[in-house]
Amino acid sequence: MRWGACVVVACCLFQVVCFAAEGYFPAFSSAGGGAGYWYIQAVEADKASRLICGRGVKMVVVDSGVDYTHPDIASHLYLDFAYDFGDNDTDIMDYLGHGTAVAGIISKLAPCAKIIPLKINPGSSPAFSDNNLKRALRYVLNLKDIQPNIKIVNLSITLANPDDDVESLITELLKKGVVVVAASGNDGEKKISFPASVPGVIAVSSLNQQDAVSSFSNYSPKVFISAPGEEMEVSYPNGYTFMSGTSMASAVVSGVAAALAEVVPVDKLPLVIAKGSVDEGNPGYDEFYGFGKVDMLKSLAAYFSMDFPLFPSRCHLSPEERKDLYFLPVNKAGYFIENATVVQVASFDPSHGSITVKALSVGKTFVCVYSDTKAGCSFVVVGEKRSYVSPLFFYGNLFVDLHVVNNLNGTYYATSTAFKDRAVSRTTILYAGKLPYGDFVFQLPADEIPEGEGVKEFLICGDGLICGRDIF
């Protein structure tokens, strides 16, 4: 966190260091809440790790180096191409602690991925020059040509001022098919720090253990996603400590992205991360959470469902109630229930593309149907009966499943949001009148489907309805 030319740095508890710096690392030491690695469960990496871990993925961490002797990190490093641009040598030992913390978070979430550390600060300095950052980014550009498995670059850093050369280098990385993740900054203001503000970069805001946006986190319509970033137990030179900051949140998203990149093509990673996010705060996209809180398991399910969706993608049932879910007919398929105590399958007919589930007890579960090469999932909630809406974008059309418990009078609205580079555009469509009782499925007319490039969200809400959304 920075005040003028002063930075609270990660090297010592709450130490304030003042300097004339061009760049810094947005993190600070914290007392710790005793919850340890709470972020692993918060993003459901503990569940997703049974399926993915980042096999075959390399990523670059541009930071303060790394303690390459640390037992939590040593086996996760790829040091053949590591370099220290701050001291102009190949010894990337971290004397500050920030880079070790970032690498430790990533290795917890994507333990099979390999991290290439690049150090940009001299010695133990909490500052770095923009020139060292440029040299490191040019190095990554060249390295990508001989190491094609480099899929992600983490930038848990901020520069005091935007720099055209840095932006051009990052843009070239994006064009080469590298996902760039960056910290939004720790000023607690409505702005996004540079280089997270570069178009195409995944800008990350920070959350606490209650899923509230951290008081120090920057926010704006340029935020893409949010992630845990407070009171994080992290690896540290010669041991462990607790740290907070959007640096930590950026590392969480990079770790999730690295794990997903084992199966998800790089060009689909931003969409899959957004599509699988948990909608927090106000319904739909907002400037604090972006598309929502990152979730590794839901993003994985979203990816597998993109070409083989179950409809509705989300539904609410009362105990003993039955519900038909639909999918593209196939000759041979199976099904999987994440929690068999919540629902059971009453009937399954792959040739006609239907599966009927029966609610057993209060709870939440994924119901998935899979063929040889594809899978689709629906998120089923069993509990008090509530009205809900579940939109699905598929093959250029929006289908909306509306379940109304009681006939509702009033207005419900659909909001389309297009997130492209630095700009968020939004349009709202209003519908007035009496909503039908029971299940109602309709196809949205083509002229009302959200337009524009980039990641798009369709949100539909109304009086007495649980909002539903789809991201495509």
**Residues with catalytic roles:** 63, 98, 247
Contacts of residue 317, Cβ cutoff 8 Å, sequence gap at least 6: 323, 343, 357, 359, 380, 381, 382, 385
User: Measured between alpha carbons, how far is 297 from 279 in angstroms, rounded to an integer?
Assistant: 14
User: Measured between alpha carbons, how far is 132 from 150 in angstroms, rounded to an integer?
Assistant: 20
Question: Quick one: tokens of 79?
Answer: 């040091």
Mutual orientation of helices 164-175 and 130-146 as an angle, nearest 10°? 20
Instruction: In the chain, count H helices and then E strands.
Output: 8, 30
User: Measured between alpha carbons, how far is 86 from 100 in angstroms, rounded to an integer?
Assistant: 16
What are the φ and ψ backbone dihedral angles of 70, each rounded to 5 degrees? -65, 130
Q: Return the residue matching tokens 């003028």.
A: 4
Q: Given strand 58-63, what is the order of strands in its sheet?
A: 83-84, 114-119, 58-63, 150-155, 179-183, 202-207, 225-228
Question: Quick one: tokens of 378?
Answer: 């629906």
54: amino acid identity, one letter: G
User: Measured between alpha carbons, how far is 227 from 43 in angstroms, rounded to an integer?
Assistant: 8
Question: Quick one: tokens of 359?
Answer: 């609610």
Omega before residue 312 within 30° of 0, cis: yes
Q: What is the largest CA-CA distance in the chain?
A: 71
Find how far residue 291's CA is from the centre of its chain.
Answer: 9
User: Could you tell me the CA-to-CA distances from 368 to 120, 315, 327 in Å, in that order?
Assistant: 45, 13, 10
Q: Given strand 438-443, what is the order of strands in its sheet?
A: 388-394, 397-404, 438-443
What are the φ and ψ backbone dihedral angles of 194, each rounded to 5 degrees? -90, 135
Question: Quick one: tokens of 169?
Answer: 């280098």
Mutual orientation of helices 246-260 and 296-305 as an angle, nearest 10°? 40
Q: Beta strand pairing status for 114-119 and 58-63?
A: parallel
Q: How far apart are the first and last CA of the chain?
A: 35
Contact status, residue 102 vs residue 248, Cβ threshold 8 Å: yes
3-state secondary structure of 364: strand
